[in-house]
Amino acid sequence: MQTGRIIKLLGGFYSVESAGKVYETRARGNFRNKDVKPLVGDFVDFENNYILSVHERKNSLVRPAIANIDQVVVVMSTVEPDFNRNLLDRFLVLLEHRRIHCKIYLTKTDLEQLDLSDYEKIGYEVFTNPESLLLDLSGKVTVFMGQTGVGKSTLLNKIAPRLDLATAEISTALGRGRHTTRHVELYSVAGGRIADTPGFSSLDYEVDTIPELNRCFVEIYEVSAHCKFRECTHTHEPECAVKAAVESGEIAKSRYDSFLQLSSEINKTREVYVKKAKKQ
């Protein structure tokens, strides 16, 4: 029996790397934890090209399906597709929820500039050039996520030209509703591993309670300790420290707006759920 790490999933085959060699394996036969589907990034025990078991994960994502991630770089473009603060906040909420360290990379700054200092202020590193990002990859598994067409594959090709990943004109990528990048693979780059991922058209931020949403907006969470009510929703309550911080400009209005929008989405989903439960 050997232990290794899954670095690629393609056509039902898991490529497992062990001691510098890559083995093509499958997950069936005497696979022990059948309820756990092996993911790229998983550490596994395998024998005769069959995965026997999956080691415990430190974290994972559903889309892309990758486990044991050290950091996610959320890739956003200034234009084409247009920069969207609400979408960025949805990414950040998902990653805070999954407790995965995240950074922001801004592309297409040659076409338009954008000031993201409000995100830096609340603790998210913002990158705009491949060189500084390269320094940050060693010893880590870094996953690049972002809407289709923002330039994830283009960025990775700049970081590691030998990858030669397929890229597409934005019109083609968005127009046909298909993604240029299709499978999940961890590439060895700059002493670490990186994964390009397919873009998507909608994002599930997975949070379904207001207290958890509160925790996932890091600066709102910090300030909310000073709200009069412990369960403050930062909407109608008196002596709300969050609303005061928005008014004073300490909390960005756009972040507060995202918080309110996601709150109302969560409340709506819960209402539907409660109604259904009552009917039964």
Ligand X SMILES: Nc1nc2c(ncn2[C@@H]2O[C@H](COP(=O)(O)OP(=O)(O)OP(=O)(O)O)[C@@H](O)[C@H]2O)c(=O)[nH]1
Q: Which residues bind Zn ion (CB under 5 A)?
A: 227, 232, 234, 240, 242
CA distance 235 to 269: 18
148 binds, among Zn ion, Mg ion, ligand X, none (CB under 5 to 8 A by kind): ligand X
Using CA atoms, how far residue 122 sits from 74, 93, 243, 266, in Å, is 16, 13, 17, 24
Q: Which of 72, 150, 223, 246 binds ligand X (CB under 6 A)?
A: 150
- Please say which residue, 100 or 130, places its beta carbon nearer to ligand X: 130
Report in angstroms how near the CB of residue 168 gets to ligand X at its nearest.
5
- Please say which residue, 48 or 209, places its beta carbon nearer to Zn ion: 209
- Please say which residue, 107 or 153, places its beta carbon nearer to Mg ion: 153
Report in angstroms how near the CB of residue 185 gets to Mg ion at its nearest.
12
Residues that bind Mg ion (rule: CB under 5 A) add up to a total of 4
Structure tokens at 31: 């696979």
Q: Which of 181, 214, 233, 263 binds Mg ion (CB under 5 A)?
A: 181
Alpha-helical (H) ranges within 38-104 are 85-97
Q: What is the x/- site pattern for ligand X, positions 164-203, by CB under 6 A?
A: ---xxxx--x-----xxx----------------xx----
Q: Residue 100 in contact with residue 69, Cβ under 8 Å?
A: yes
- The verdict on 107 binding Mg ion (CB under 5 A) reads no
User: C-alpha angle with apex 80: 79 to 86, nearest 5 degrees?
Assistant: 65
Burial 190-218, CB ≥16 within 10 A → b, else e: bebbbbbbbbeeeeebebeebeebbbbbe
CA distance 8 to 182: 12
232 binds, among ligand X, Mg ion, Zn ion, none (CB under 5 to 8 A by kind): Zn ion
Q: Which of 151, 210, 242, 251 binds ligand X (CB under 6 A)?
A: 151
- The verdict on 78 binding ligand X (CB under 6 A) reads no
CA distance 146 to 139: 23
Using CA atoms, how far residue 97 sits from 46, 93, 126, 210, 266, in Å, is 32, 6, 20, 12, 14
Q: Residue 177 in contact with residue 201, Cβ under 8 Å?
A: yes
258 binds, among ligand X, Mg ion, Zn ion, none (CB under 5 to 8 A by kind): none
15 binds, among Zn ion, ligand X, Mg ion, none (CB under 5 to 8 A by kind): none
- The piece of 1-9, 51-59, 82-90, 149-157 that touches ligand X (CB under 6 A) is 149-157
Q: Residue 254 in contact with residue 245, Cβ under 8 Å?
A: no
- Please say which residue, 201 or 248, places its beta carbon nearer to ligand X: 201
